[in-house]
Amino acid sequence: MPCAAVIRFPGSNCEFETARVLRNSGIDARIYNWNDIDRLSDNRADAYVLPGGFSFQDRIRAGVIAARESIMDLVFEEAVNGKPILGICNGAQVLIESGLVPGWKPGSVQGALAGNLAPGRSGYLSGWTHLKPVPEAIKKCPWLSAMNGNPFPVPIAHAEGRFVFREEDMNRVRSHIGLSYCGVDGSAPHGWPENPNGSVLDIAALMNVDGNVLAMMPHPERSFHLWQVPPDMKGPWGESRRNSSLKDLEDQPGPGAIIFKGLAKYLGVE
Amino acid sequence: MSKRPNREELRNEVSSRGLAMTVEEAEKLAGYVNRMPTPLEFHLFDTMWSEHCSYKSSKPVLKTLPTDSPGVVIGPGEDAGVVSFCHQDGREWDLVVAHESHNHPSQVLPVEGAATGVGGIVRDVYCMGARVTGSMDLLRFGDPEGGRGETTRGIVRGVVEGIWKYGNALGVPNMGGDTEFHPGYDDNCLVNVVAFGIVPHDRIVHSFVPQEAHKEPYVLILTGKPTDDTGFGGATFASADLDGEQGMGSVQVADPFLKRVLSEANRAVLDMLFEKDIKFGFKDLGAGGIACVTSELAAHGGLGIDVDLDAVPVSIKNLPPEVIACSETQERYGLAVPASVADDVLKVYNEQFELPRLFPHCRAAVIGKFNSKPVYNVICRGENAAETPINYITEGVVYQREESPVNSGAPEPLERPCDPSRDLTTILTSISGCSRKHIWSYYDSEVQGVTRLRPGEADSCVSVPVEGSRAGLAVSGDGNPWYGELDPFLGGAHAVGEAVRNVVATGATPICATDCLNFGNPEDPGAFWQFKQAVAGIADACNSLGFSGGDYPLPVVSGNVSFYNQSTGGKAIPPSPIVAVFGKIHDHRKATDLVLRKEGNPVLLIGTRKDELGGSLFYRTCLGHHGGTVPAFRGSLEKKMADWVLGVIHDRRAYSVHDISGGGLAVAGAEMALASAEFGIEFSLDSNPVTLFSETPGYLMEVDPGFVEDATLPEFVSVAGRVCRGCSVSGNGWSVDLESLRKEWLDKLASVIWREEGV
Amino acid sequence: MDSIQIAVRLKTPDPQAVTALNTIKAMRLQLPPLKLCRHDLWEFEVSSGGRDTVSELIGHFADIVNPNKQLWLFTEKDSSLAGEDPELQWAGIVVRDYVDSVSENWTELLKRRGFPVEALRCGVLWRFGYLKGTDEALIKKMAMDLSVSDTREGGLFSNPVSQEVSFWI
């Protein structure tokens, strides 16, 4: 069975459910502490996930301290080797601050996840958003490989999720977009709250050059089961959530499961 | 040491040390040690005898609350209550619940006060050995549009910020709660916090040194944040009147980052001890700090202890012994383990989880040894800082307070003009009646991946906390200050009643309750009477709303009393009994929510409307009147309605359910429509204020047309209308288009409080 | 139009500064700062009333300064800030987001409430305390190097893509 390593930093808090949904997707998942470097080094995984949370309490800036932890040297090496790497929420912030994404020059910080920009409010925002994948990214990124291109809902929960790039990089960043925020029907967002944080180009998830590393602000692990979808959700996922039988409510995957299914497909899980 | 002091010497000590204890209490202490007490002893007893720790005014009254039911594993007395929850894979899982207030600190320092409120309550659940799977905040603020509105708005913003900054980082999903505004809280907000978690029955941890310590040497390990002076005096602060200037600097500084790492380290330590079958005691440090945790762990296990304060990791040098011993530095735990495993335990904290690297001077250290001599002995820099017979420390004090009825005698309004469309619009766009979504939008309610229904989607939040099990846990917390003000007995009873209905409306059977009793000065006979009345109301409701069969009540398994909620002017808050109810649904897939499902479905009204609008949203927001006649509490009817609703939900005949409380039937219907977007309700009832706006307890339930034809409806159930297309509610001669109101209903709180518009 | 700047710090040790200094220690720099202080820096563009306007509005909003937990002062050029060890040599770095909701929302709110405030900008002032006697130009360079995260191994205190960083003094 392929194996994924879930890297826990001091202050991570989504490591258990992330490991759980990986296991439910047919992938053996193990949690490694930030200082379990030797153990991880001896047991290289087939994929790596940096889970959500508040590594070092987002002090100074979300992700910046964790990006400097020694265990990230190993993740860095594996990323360059082409292993699939996913950062969810705080994990995405760590990937950006490590210079792995967008990664034109790996190790250089070339993007930012800045504070949410929203009318009349600041700080944390939690709620459900709709995402759609970029067709080219489906071909390139293992995490997106099981998608059919349809929009789907997933929750967000963050205070610093606004993708920002330098003006001169705005053109080349387009080819790195994995997922973007959209309306329920897949149309371009009409500002806030469809784009919940003011991300440029409505970016929700960004890849590195090769597409093996994905920095994703929304939480697919919290929408793994159909029963996790809110009852008032609009669109086909809401219909399916409201009208499903008891059995389907339990057995049917939720919209976020597709991310982990993508990895399983990539790693050859039946 | 010195000779026994006289009264005058004691009076001087008490006042110069800023103690809250009375001179009589100081004399009692001097009698115990038969000399002038040491500074540490003064501060330790001051904490132990504070209202917060000793329940000295409330204890005799609290004994009247029902606590006995077959599912109760641990009732009131330890850090949290425990009830049986479910069986899974041959293992019994228990639910651990705790409920506290952090009112006074939040008034002075809203962000830190609310944050440490969350921090304190989750520690109470963690230290029972549980994984914390949810928290909830019950908030009461002054009038944000009133004379003290500016202060209130700042406090609301700060409290919400404190809750999200701390709670979200901790990784504990926020399961909502409620928020009420009443000018009676202008000088004294209420921040009540509930936390709950699950623990395998065979892994419950107790907060005393185990019996094994009588046979082999046990030591006390202190772990967590290095001790400083920031919380010094916190316990006595929590029990004193507020006057704006007092208590500054005595609110603790919370560190959710350390707390998260420490919680995971604790989990590793506890797992290791259980796997080695080692008996141990575990307790969090709250009020009274090291002094309380060391003396209580020892005394409740029937032992004495020698504490070495020089071994305590500190972040400030040369602190006096009473500060090291009694400081309320956050994020610390005490652990009583056999001396033989102490090194293994220290290794987990200090090496595996690297506490010393993550925060300067943070680490676990052995700071005491238990022994069979029943003395609490503390050494600091070679000197005896305390030497007290240990049983006196935990003995406590009790006072019989006087009571005297407060007659509100409020009249009903002479006239009740009612224009349903206009009045419903007014209510839904008022601060009291608008959506609370803006507050929840700051909270992470989905971390851990077990949340089934989030705040606002159903009457209570539901999660699925035990891996592999379908058992759903529903929670709701309630308490209506307008009822409490008019009739504290009914305030208490309806707090239970509404929380029960909220849990029942999702299909969950109530299994236990917790309470937080927020009142004025207990030495004031009027305030004490209000307290007693409210407790009697809670007891009455719990006795009629037991769901365990037989005559068993709904057990109150944990709780907290908060007195002295008043300004220095002496104006007390409205009597505020706040109750949380926990329910279990065997199969979470059957849980019901607010969302209307199908055009043409009948909507049932459960609970006949009565003319009892005292304290109602209609009176307050539409007539500018409080009224006098609070809805009666009809215990046996409440129980019958709940049983019937649960039956229909379990038979899968209910499509959506909402309880009727604040705002009455019209507001309940509007809230279902607002939750649904594409559907609304056409009521076929009389359009009078009693039918539409009376807050007589009840439910609205959407069923399929066949259900009404098949079933014989009990006398308290009638067809009230049907589901229609389009987000609106209407009745005979009135109609409100809710789609056009939605924005204002959702945005009102943010506009007044966060953007300060129109103030 | 007056530009008025205030620095606000916690009375108790600032956990952000504690963690930051702890992280710097792990970077094993040749000449690390010995102390680190963190201040919220608020800059107000006021159309009338100068400092009085700022003092007054602070009195209205405990979100900006809560005197129960914070100390604040009008900052002066070349001044040392309260709480700083005079035995050390201090350098200051200001970090501001190019765009941020907090500044935008407070500007709107203060205008709405009728304060003569044209604009407001929030930032963070980090003060680095170095060993006395170190060359001042060197201190400034070290403080700036420590403040720009251009690479994973580089400085800590600002992401140059979304934040601007400047010397304070």
**CA–CA distances in Å: residue B215 to residues A259, B76, B303, B370:** 56, 29, 11, 11
DSSP H helical segments within B174-255, as ranges?
234-237
Q: Is residue B304 part of a domain?
A: yes
Identify the residue whose tokens are 């759903």.
B472
Say if residue B592 is in the same domain as residue B692.
yes
Q: Is residue A246 part of a domain?
A: no
Say if residue B529 is in the same domain as residue B673.
yes
Contacts of C among chains (3+ CB pairs under 8 A): A, B
Q: Is residue B680 part of a domain?
A: yes
Closest CA–CA distance from residue C34 to any residue of chain B (Å): 14
DSSP line for B274-302? HHTT---EEEE--TTHHHHHHHHHHHTTT
Say if residue B748 is in the same domain as residue B624.
yes
DSSP line for C42-96? EEEEESSSHHHHHHHHHHH-TTT--TTTEEEEE--TTPPPTT--TTEEEEEEEEE
**At a CB cut-off of 8 Å and minimum separation 6, what does B84 contact?**
B71, B72, B73, B92, B94, B95, B201
Containing structural domain, residue A53:
3-225+255-266
Q: What is the pLDDT averaged over residues C84-98?
A: 92
Classify the C-alpha dihedral A210-A91-A233-A228 as positive or negative.
Answer: positive
Q: Is residue A192 part of a domain?
A: yes
What is the CB neighbour count within 10 angstroms for residue A209?
Answer: 16
Which of residues B639 and C75 earns the better pLDDT score?
Answer: B639
pLDDT in tens, A55-101: 999 999 999 999 999 999 999 999 999 999 999 999 999 999 999 99
The number of residues in chain A equals 270
Judged against a pLDDT cut of 90, whether residue C30 lies above it is answered with: no
Q: Lowest mean pLDDT: which of A120-124, B87-91, B177-181, B242-246?
A: B242-246
Q: What is the pLDDT averaged over residues C36-61?
A: 95
Which of residues B369 and B77 earns the better pLDDT score?
Answer: B369
Judged against a pLDDT cut of 90, whether residue B35 lies above it is answered with: yes
Q: Lowest mean pLDDT: which of A109-123, B461-475, C62-76?
A: C62-76
Query: CB of B586 within 8 Å of any CB in chain A?
Result: no
pLDDT at B295: 93
Q: Is residue B58 part of a domain?
A: no
Q: Is residue A22 part of a domain?
A: yes
CATH number reported for the structural domain that contains residue A187 in this entry:
3.40.50.880
pLDDT at B316: 84
What is the CB neighbour count within 10 angstroms for residue B90?
Answer: 5
Judged against a pLDDT cut of 70, whether residue C78 lies above it is answered with: no
Q: Is residue B440 part of a domain?
A: yes
Say if residue B739 is in the same domain as residue B668.
yes
Band (pLDDT 50/70/90 cuts) for residue B488 is very high
What's the structural domain count of chain A?
Answer: 1
Mutate to test the interface with B, among C68, C104, C105, C106 (most CBs of B within 10 A): C68
pLDDT at B234: 42
* Cβ contact A120–B750 (<8 Å): yes
pLDDT at B294: 95
**What is the H or E stretch that residue B166 is in?**
helix B149-170
The number of residues in chain C equals 169
What's the structural domain count of chain B?
Answer: 3
Q: Is residue A112 part of a domain?
A: yes
SS3 A203: strand
Say if residue B391 is in the same domain as residue B461.
no
Say if residue B295 is in the same domain as residue B344.
yes
Q: What is the pLDDT averaged over residues B510-532?
A: 96
Token pair recorded at residue C95: 């970090």
- The whole-angstrom distance between residue B564's C-alpha and the CA centroid of its chain comes to 18
Question: Shortest CB distance from A165 goes to which of C100, C156, C161?
Answer: C161
Say if residue B210 is in the same domain as residue B188.
no
Q: What is the mean pLDDT of chain A?
A: 97
Judged against a pLDDT cut of 50, whether residue B661 lies above it is answered with: yes
pLDDT at B253: 74
Q: Is residue B112 part of a domain?
A: no
Query: CB of B251 within 8 Å of any CB in chain C?
Result: yes
User: With pLDDT > 90 as the criterion, what percentage of chain B qualifies?
Assistant: 86
In the chain, the amino acid numbered B162 is G
| List of chain B residues whose C-beta atoms are within 8 Å of the C-beta of residue A257 | none
Judged against a pLDDT cut of 90, whether residue B2 lies above it is answered with: no
DSSP line for B443-509? S---TTS-EEE-BTTBSSEEE--STT---EEEEEEE--HHHHHH-HHHHHHHHHHHHHHHHHTTTPE
The HSE-up count of residue B553 (CA atoms within 13 Å, CB side) is 19
pLDDT at B232: 66
Work out the end-to-end distance of chain A between its first and last CA atoms, rounded to an integer number of angstroms.
10
Say if residue B156 is in the same domain as residue B303.
no
pLDDT at B237: 42
Say if residue B345 is in the same domain as residue B439.
no
CATH number reported for the structural domain that contains residue B352 in this entry:
3.90.650.10
Residue that is last in its domain, among B32, B53, B74: B53
Q: What is the pLDDT averaged over residues B568-580?
A: 91
Distance CA C68, CA C70 (A): 6
**What is the H or E stretch that residue B270 is in?**
helix B256-275
Q: Is residue A244 part of a domain?
A: no
pLDDT in tens, A222-251: 999 999 999 999 999 999 999 999 999 999
Q: What is the pLDDT averaged over residues B312-324?
A: 90
Q: What is the pLDDT averaged over residues B696-707?
A: 97
Question: Shortest CB distance from A107 goes to which of C97, C152, C161?
Answer: C152
Say if residue B185 is in the same domain as residue B265.
no
Nearest one of B367, B257, B351, B355 to B311, comparing CA atoms: B367
Q: What is the CA radius of gyration of chain A?
A: 17
SS3 B139: strand
Judged against a pLDDT cut of 60, whether residue A194 lies above it is answered with: yes
Say if residue B184 is in the same domain as residue B234.
no
Candidate list B52, B104, B206, B626, residue with the active-site label: B52
Token pair recorded at residue B85: 């929850």
| List of chain A residues whose C-beta atoms are within 8 Å of the C-beta of residue B166 | none
- Residues in a beta bridge with B379: B308, B384
Say if residue B691 is in the same domain as residue B542.
yes
Query: CB of B663 within 8 Å of any CB in chain C?
Result: no
pLDDT in tens, B215-252: 999 999 999 999 988 666 444 444 444 433 333 345 56
Judged against a pLDDT cut of 90, whether residue B698 lies above it is answered with: yes
* Cβ contact A227–B443 (<8 Å): no
What is the CB neighbour count within 10 angstroms for residue B114?
Answer: 30
- Residues in a beta bridge with A114: A162
Q: Which of residues 257-276 of B touch C (CB under 8 A)?
A: 257
Give residue ranges of A with CB < 8 Å to any C CB: 56-57, 59-61, 64-65, 67-68, 72, 76, 97-99, 107-112, 114-118, 120-123, 162, 164-166
Q: What is the pLDDT averaged over residues C96-109?
A: 96
| List of chain B residues whose C-beta atoms are within 8 Å of the C-beta of residue C109 | 755-756
Q: What is the pLDDT averaged over residues B283-301?
A: 92
pLDDT in tens, B431-473: 999 999 999 999 999 999 999 999 999 999 999 999 999 999 9
Query: CB of B677 within 8 Å of any CB in chain A?
Result: yes
pLDDT at B78: 83
Residue that is last in its domain, among B350, B367, B396: B396
Query: CB of C153 within 8 Å of any CB in chain A?
Result: yes
**Phi, psi of B624, deg, nearest 5:** 60, 35
Query: CB of C18 within 8 Å of any CB in chain B?
Result: yes
Instruction: Please give the residue of chain C at the shortest CA–CA distance from A159.
Output: C101
Containing structural domain, residue B38:
7-53
Judged against a pLDDT cut of 70, whether residue A202 lies above it is answered with: yes
Q: What is the pLDDT averaged over residues B408-413?
A: 86
Burial of B77 by CB count in 10 Å (0-12 exposed, 13-18 middle, 19+ buried)?
exposed
pLDDT at B238: 44
Closest CA–CA distance from residue C77 to any residue of chain B (Å): 30
ipTM over 0.90: yes
Q: Is residue A207 part of a domain?
A: yes
**At a CB cut-off of 8 Å and minimum separation 6, what does B634 contact?**
B697
Cβ distance B160 to B442 under 8 Å? yes
